[in-house]
Structure 1
Amino acid sequence: MIKDYFNLPLSEDKQGRQYLELIYAGAILKDSWVLADIGISVSSTIKCVIKEEDKPAFYIYNVVTQEKVPIKGSIHLLATAVSLLKTLVSLKCGFPNSIYCLRTPEGREMYDCNTLNDYQLDIGTTLRLDVWDGWKEFLTGCLLGNKHNIQRFLSDEEPVRIYQKRVALYMAAFFGHLELTTWLLKQGVRPNEAVGVHPYREWCQETHHPDITKCPIHAAAEAGQLIILKAFVNYSVLCLQCQNPAGQIPLNICIKHKHKDCALYLVTKMWSVVSYPNFSLPMKIYIKLKQWLLRAQSHILTTQWFNQATVFRTRVGDTVVVDGFTKPKMTSKARIKAEDSKNCKLPNPADRSPREEDPCFLTVTKENRKEIKLKLPPLYEANKLQNIPRLHQKKNMRKKAVQPRKDESVDQNMCLAKVPLPPISSFRNSRPPLYYSTPNAKLFLNSSAESFLEHNGRTPRDNAIYCLAIANAFKEKRWLQQLGIARNLAKRSVCKPIY
């Protein structure tokens, strides 16, 4: 009605769209809402806004987070190289450039030297982001800042393990995980050291992406992580002059991305003075002297190594990945530890001692180690299982059937973050005694909850959380008025159970 009354020109094409947005009491109105349910009465004022939205040029499906990341850009992006697209993806996802590859919807791997037009892509195409095989669990730990999960899924190969630690520090700096950053710094990972490439690809230096020389300090500056920047500078002042592939220091990066607090901190540090008992040095001169000293030390060590023998990182027998020739190792396969199943075997009946005849013992053998006998918990007797009432078994089955799906639990957690609700009471007898007076009442309540879940897709509590989260969007309303809106929305969503 508003569009027709005011003759508003709205359009939608591949590049973007113009749409009308209605705002009341600070909340954006949805098409499925009823005006009376959300408290809009006669003579109310509704704000009308025409917005322009540019559609993403591409969507990137991240196999680690299982999310679709939009990449903004015009149609001219199709004429650019794949390397530029990977740079934009790294800024969105926080992944170093050397740990993933992009694939077309048909499954073709996209190489940095080619252009997007070479793969015949259209605007709005969804590309797939694949990581190294066996890295999904490790990268999930990096995203969450879970130190124990990272330790568990580190590679057994030493070069790959060192590379994984550099990747973990880069991602910890981007996402602001201070505890993980502190642990990695203690492990000897330097914030001004480039992440580099996977050891399997160290031989092909001519085709490397320029962003492989980026360091964790650059990731912290791009993301505006002030606490991480302070930790890196306190670890080594050389981070202040560490340059990225474009020749920019962390201060220039913070100014480019408009991180005011980080820029002020770096300016203060760069124009500070290093004091000694008899003299003082400006920070810039101190950094240059320290860089000169480190270069001299590395030159001496390199000369000694070359006098003894030529040292190469890649040795005979190491795995090498050749694009287009070897079997792809960036397919996001999960890590399966087959050696765990080999370490456990059942004892030989002929070699048992009288005590080992007990089925609760299991022998675990490992190479160059003694046999360890593990005591397993006893099995439940069959008679005990037969004594369980059938009603209790049906109750357990009913509880399993009422559990929310994965998507519903995610929505519930998002709504809980918006609406503070009182915790569920731990007292079983907090309600009137007649509420649970008979078993029939319990069965009736359970069946009602099941019926509500079947028709609505949410449990009664989840539905209440959902309605309160919607009502909380009306910021200009008082809390009691928001509560009234939530009650009206909840009434409309109630379905009577059918018997």
Structure 2
Amino acid sequence: MRVFICFEGTSEPFDIPPDQTVGAIKQVVKDNFLVQLTDDKHVRQYLELSYGGAALQDSWALCDVGITSGSAIRCLIKSERRPVMQVFNAVTGETLPIMGSEALPHMSVAGLKTVVSTLSGLPVSTFRLSTPAGVQLYDCNQLQDYAIELGTTLRLDTWDGWVEFLQGCLLGQRLTVQSHLSEKKPVMRFQLQVALYIAASLGHLDLADWLLERGAHAEQPVGVHPYRQWCHQTAHLDTGKCPVHMAAESSQLLILKLFITKNLLTLACRDPAGRDPLTVALQCGHRDCVRYLANKLSSVVSLPNLSLPMRIYLQLKCWVSLGQKRAASNRCQDISAAFKATVGDMLLVDGFNQPNMSSKSRKAVIKPRRGIKAKALQPLPPISNLLSPSHLPSIMAPSQHSLQSVYPGDLKELKQDVKSREDGLLDEISKEDSSLGKGKFILPPITSSESIPRPGFVGASPKSSHILESFSHRCGRTPRENAIYCMTIASTFTEKPWQKQLSIARTLFRKRVYT
């Protein structure tokens, strides 16, 4: 088919097969227009083909996005700066580009963690950075102290057992967050603050509302992990940021309204730099947040027989809260009460012990513990022994009667065997101690998980279900997540109607599944 490619004010016709990929078309355009592209370590130039307001990817074919004969495709030369450094995020599996100049190796590790926290949405107290050789980077040092060169790919790791929890926070999935909370109360409280910080950054309103009901506070800083609370004086400055500051920095107006509705003290909350949410929103240039916060601070609070300006009311509330905290601290006479840790808790000191931050999944952390408990279990005595009232004390002693192994056999024989044993069960109970060793209980056959029938899709053929299962195994995404991904790509064709975008999404989904 013949398409027209517009490049630098000219339009040239090209006869291209419908199944031709965009990458091959770019090579044809480059040879026809004699395009010279620069590619060095600082700047990279590349060709971009756009149709319907969206950029075409190199792996697409023209028929995939509905390009027909006579269509016009725009060709542009774009340039981008190469990242000075990259960080592989073990939580999401993405690689974050770190832009900057050649002076980036002279930056401190604390400054780099601030940049990484802004790009990933994770608080600085939930991850660590390490070199490709596995050497951990500490906040007090500079990157050049670790001989890190330009173009190096660092690694971001989180606490063991936190991967699923942080993924649920980033996606705003309340049930996932709830199911992966820690059983230890200090760690769980820290996780609630972390989840509220991420929800405020990404605008997950439902998750933020649920976390506030669970006891999280928008006016309190995220802080450090309870295992590091004895060395919090050297912690990163960003650990003092509160979720309300992150909401103002990310221009999440609905989250700000939720926080202020729950507690008016969030208006006077200050970050480590001494900024309140209004100052943060002003410096970031978010007009909607600035307008809302300014109106709130200039409003009047109506009390019984009294009306106070908001700023005076907030000062009174802060004084009352400070007095309550001092009164509570005076009641604690024991010096050790200042620390929240108890005997037996883990203590981490940088440089002296290996922190548990290797991004292990929750299943990998819990599985060894279950294996240890399973080995300690003793085999149960036969049920025929337990039914006899005269032999109840023998339950506490280790049983010498082993369970009889049973393998799946004929169903009719099994039913007859079970029926005969049910008929003779009352007789076995009344037998004496000498006959107890002869009575044994046969377990029902163990059915493997593979033989359990699974519900299938209505109207779906076995071949299609097999394709979807293999796709989920290879791609790492469920068919629903892949459909959302294809619909997101199709929505970039802003110049096309919605029905055309839906047709493009269906074509992309079908191609990705069957490929």
What's the TM-score, normalizing by structure 1? 0.71
What residue number does 2:329 align with? 302
What residue number does 2:199 align with? 172
Question: Does the aligned pair in 2 maintain the 1:194–1:216 contact within 8 Å?
Answer: yes
What residue number does 2:124 align with? 97
Rounded Cα–Cα distance in structure 1 between residues aligned with 2:209 and 2:60: 49
Identify the match of residue 469 of structure 2 among 403, 408, 417.
403
Change (3 A) 1:268 1:484: closer
- What displacement does 1:111 show? 0.7
What residue number does 1:311 align with? 337
Identify the match of residue 300 of structure 2 among 273, 277, 284.
273
Rounded Cα–Cα distance in structure 2 between residues aligned with 1:336 and 1:160: 16
Matches within 5 A, 1:44-55: 45-55=72-82
Offset from partner CA, 1:36-59 (integer Å, 9 cap, x none)? 9964656x6543323221222222
Question: Does the aligned pair in 2 maintain the 1:133–1:329 contact within 8 Å?
Answer: yes
What residue number does 2:366 align with? 336
What residue number does 1:80 align with? 107
Rounded Cα–Cα distance in structure 2 between residues aligned with 1:32 and 1:315: 57
Structure 1: any 5+ residue segments left out of the alignment?
361-376, 386-394, 421-468
Rounded Cα–Cα distance in structure 2 between residues aligned with 1:287 and 1:23: 53
Counterpart residue identity of residue 416, structure 1: A
Rounded Cα–Cα distance in structure 2 between residues aligned with 1:203 and 1:415: 45
Identify the match of residue 417 of structure 1 among 484, 487, 492.
484
What residue number does 1:140 align with? 167
The reply on whether 1:264 has 2:291 as its aligned counterpart is yes
Rounded Cα–Cα distance in structure 2 between residues aligned with 1:84 and 1:130: 17
Identify the match of residue 42 of structure 2 among 4, 10, 15.
15
The reply on whether 1:353 has 2:420 as its aligned counterpart is no
Change (3 A) 1:146 1:273: same
Identify the match of residue 232 of structure 1 among 243, 253, 259.
259
- What displacement does 1:72 show? 2.4
Question: Does the aligned pair in 2 maintain the 1:418–1:472 contact within 8 Å?
Answer: no
Deviates more, 1:479-488 or 1:267-276: 479-488
Q: Which has the larger radius of gyration?
A: 2
The reply on whether 1:112 has 2:139 as its aligned counterpart is yes
Rounded Cα–Cα distance in structure 2 between residues aligned with 1:291 and 1:113: 33
Aligned residues: 419
Question: Does the aligned pair in 2 maintain the 1:14–1:123 contact within 8 Å?
Answer: no
What residue number does 1:433 align with? none
Question: Does the aligned pair in 2 maintain the 1:15–1:74 contact within 8 Å?
Answer: no
Change (3 A) 1:304 1:29: closer
What residue number does 1:66 align with? 93
Rounded Cα–Cα distance in structure 2 between residues aligned with 1:483 and 1:299: 61
Change (3 A) 1:14 1:413: farther
Offset from partner CA, 1:399-427 (integer Å, 9 cap, x none)? 6477333354749656633777xxxxxxx
User: Residue 79 of structure 2: SS of its match in structure 1?
Assistant: strand
Change (3 A) 1:381 1:409: closer
Rounded Cα–Cα distance in structure 2 between residues aligned with 1:172 and 1:222: 13
Rounded Cα–Cα distance in structure 2 between residues aligned with 1:139 and 1:491: 31
Rounded Cα–Cα distance in structure 1 between residues aligned with 2:477 and 2:447: 39
- What displacement does 1:192 show? 0.6
Question: Does the aligned pair in 1 maintain the 2:53–2:492 contact within 8 Å?
Answer: yes
User: Residue 331 of structure 2: SS of its match in structure 1?
Assistant: helix
CA RMSD of aligned residues (A): 4.1
Change (3 A) 1:51 1:302: same
Change (3 A) 1:399 1:175: closer
Rounded Cα–Cα distance in structure 2 between residues aligned with 1:201 and 1:7: 60
Counterpart residue identity of residue 268, structure 2: Q
Offset from partner CA, 1:435-458 (integer Å, 9 cap, x none)? xxxxxxxxxxxxxxxxxxxxxxxx
Rounded Cα–Cα distance in structure 2 between residues aligned with 1:213 and 1:84: 15
Offset from partner CA, 1:333-352 (integer Å, 9 cap, x none)? 23315565637765222734
The reply on whether 1:156 has 2:183 as its aligned counterpart is yes
- What displacement does 1:8 show? 5.3
Rounded Cα–Cα distance in structure 2 between residues aligned with 1:480 and 1:98: 45
Rounded Cα–Cα distance in structure 1 between residues aligned with 2:158 and 2:296: 37
Change (3 A) 1:471 1:171: closer
Rounded Cα–Cα distance in structure 1 between residues aligned with 2:297 and 2:497: 49
Rounded Cα–Cα distance in structure 1 between residues aligned with 2:214 and 2:507: 57
What's the TM-score, normalizing by structure 2? 0.69
Structure 2: any 5+ residue segments left out of the alignment?
1-27, 389-402, 407-417, 419-442, 452-460
Question: Does the aligned pair in 1 maintain the 2:483–2:509 contact within 8 Å?
Answer: no
Counterpart residue identity of residue 148, structure 2: L
Counterpart residue identity of residue 348, structure 1: P
Matches within 5 A, 1:447-462: none
- What displacement does 1:154 show? 2.8
- What displacement does 1:319 show? 1.8
User: Residue 88 of structure 2: SS of its match in structure 1?
Assistant: strand
Offset from partner CA, 1:138-191 (integer Å, 9 cap, x none)? 223323334443343333333222222222222222233333322322232221
Change (3 A) 1:396 1:78: same
User: Residue 405 of structure 1: SS of its match in structure 2?
Assistant: helix
Change (3 A) 1:399 1:471: closer
Counterpart residue identity of residue 11, structure 1: T
Change (3 A) 1:345 1:82: same
Change (3 A) 1:276 1:57: same
- What displacement does 1:257 show? 3.2
